[in-house]
Amino acid sequence: MNNSIEEGKSIAITSYILIIGVLIAMSMNSENKNSFASFHIRQALGLSLAFISFGAIISNFDSFMITFPMWICISILWTYGIFSAIQGQMRPIPLVGNLFQKWFKSIG
């Protein structure tokens, strides 16, 4: 298991570079499936889609009081996810991580 984590760590970290990182990580993980990398690809995909979706909705309000908390929330969740990947742990992102795993179970 430890060897699997070390092999998938670079793919997992790459996946947290917004949506382009997810696409790169998915192609890197397509040949030899790594469960650690797949877990983090699903987490990063969910975060990227949440960021884009919330950004599209919140941009209509054009208010700092609305956009700033969204940026803080996404930044905290992203930091949690990438540090989890760096440490070699498969911890779901708080609040939404288990949903991302369920929704995107066929990805990765």
The closest of 34, 21, 27, 31 to 81, measured between CA atoms, is: 21
The closest of 74, 101, 102, 103 to 82, measured between CA atoms, is: 74
Which residue ranges make up each domain of the chain? Answer: 1-107
pTM over 0.85: yes
Q: pLDDT (tens digit, 9 = 90+) per residue, 1-11?
A: 567 788 899 99
Q: pLDDT (tens digit, 9 = 90+) per residue, 28-78?
A: 998 888 999 999 999 999 999 999 999 899 888 888 898 899 999 999 999
Instruction: Round to whole Å and give the CA distance between 39 and 41.
Output: 6
